[in-house]
Structure 1
Amino acid sequence: MPNAEFAYRLEPIVDLHTEKPVAHELLAGEAQCPEWGEVLWRRWHTFLISEIPRLLDSMEGLLFINLDGQQILDEHIHDTVQAISCFSPRIVLEWTEQRFMDAHFNRIVARLETYREMGFRVAIDDIGSIGGIDGLGRAGAIHADFCKIDGKYFQEVRSKGPEYLQGLCQHLARNGAMVIVEWVETKTDHRLALASGSHLGQGRLWKHARQSSCGGSL
Structure 2
Amino acid sequence: MQNTFLPNLSNSGLFTAFRYLHKERKKRYMDYKRFLELDKIIRNQSLTTFFQPILDLENGKTIGYEVLNRPPSTSLFPNTDLFYEFIGQTDRVFQFECFIRNISIKRLVDGLRKSPNQKSALIFLNIHPYVLMDSNYKIGETKQLIEEYGISPEQVVFEITEKQAVSDFVQFERILSHYRSQGFRIAVDDAGSGYNSLKTLVYLKPEFIKIDKSIIQNINKTIVKQKMVSLLMNFAVESDTSIIAEGIEQVKDYQYLRKMGIHFGQGYGLGTPKKELTPGSLIV
Q: 1:211 maps to what in 2?
A: 277
Sequence identity percentage = 23
Question: How far is 1:134 from its partner?
Answer: 4.3
Residues 13-52 of structure 1: pairs in structure 2 closer than 5 A? 13-29=54-70, 32=80, 34-35=83-84, 36=87, 37-38=92-93, 39-52=95-108
1:169 aligns with 2:233: yes
Residues 51-200 of structure 1: pairs in structure 2 closer than 5 A? 51-57=107-113, 58=115, 59-60=118-119, 61-79=121-139, 80-84=141-145, 86=147, 87-102=152-167, 104-129=168-193, 132-155=194-217, 157-160=219-222, 164=227, 165-200=229-264
Is the Cα contact below 8 Å between 1:170 and 1:197 reproduced in 2?
Answer: no
Q: Would you tell me which structure has more strand in proportion to its own residues?
A: 1
**Structure 2 CA distance for aligned equivalents of residues 81 and 212 of structure 1:** 25
Question: How far is 1:43 from its partner?
Answer: 2.0
Return 5+ residue gaps in structure 2 as ranges. 1-43, 72-78
**Structure 1 CA distance for aligned equivalents of residues 226 and 203 of structure 2:** 25
Question: How far is 1:14 from its partner?
Answer: 0.5
Is the Cα contact below 8 Å between 1:21 and 1:211 reproduced in 2?
Answer: no
Give the match's secondary structure for 2:240: coil
Question: How far is 1:4 from its partner?
Answer: 4.3
**Cα displacement string for residues 100-139 of structure 1 (whole angstroms, at most 9, x for unaligned residues):** 231x22222111111000001111122222xx23433222
**Cα displacement string for residues 140-191 of structure 1 (whole angstroms, at most 9, x for unaligned residues):** 2132111111211223643135852323212212201111111111111111
**TM-score computed with the length of structure 2 as normaliser:** 0.65
Return 5+ residue gaps in structure 1 as ranges. none
Is the Cα contact below 8 Å between 1:67 and 1:93 reproduced in 2?
Answer: yes
Give the match's secondary structure for 1:205: coil
Amino acid at match of 1:88: P
Is the Cα contact below 8 Å between 2:212 and 2:245 reproduced in 1?
Answer: yes
Is the Cα contact below 8 Å between 2:53 and 2:280 reproduced in 1?
Answer: no
Amino acid at match of 1:121: R
Amino acid at match of 2:255: R
**Structure 2 CA distance for aligned equivalents of residues 88 and 21 of structure 1:** 19
The total of aligned residue pairs comes to: 210
**Cα displacement string for residues 24-43 of structure 1 (whole angstroms, at most 9, x for unaligned residues):** 00112157463233233332
Question: How far is 1:73 from its partner?
Answer: 1.3
Question: How far is 1:54 from its partner?
Answer: 3.3
**TM-score computed with the length of structure 1 as normaliser:** 0.82
Of 38-47 and 7-16, the range deviating more from structure 2: 38-47
Question: How far is 1:19 from its partner?
Answer: 2.1
Q: Would you tell me which structure has more helix in proportion to its own residues?
A: 2
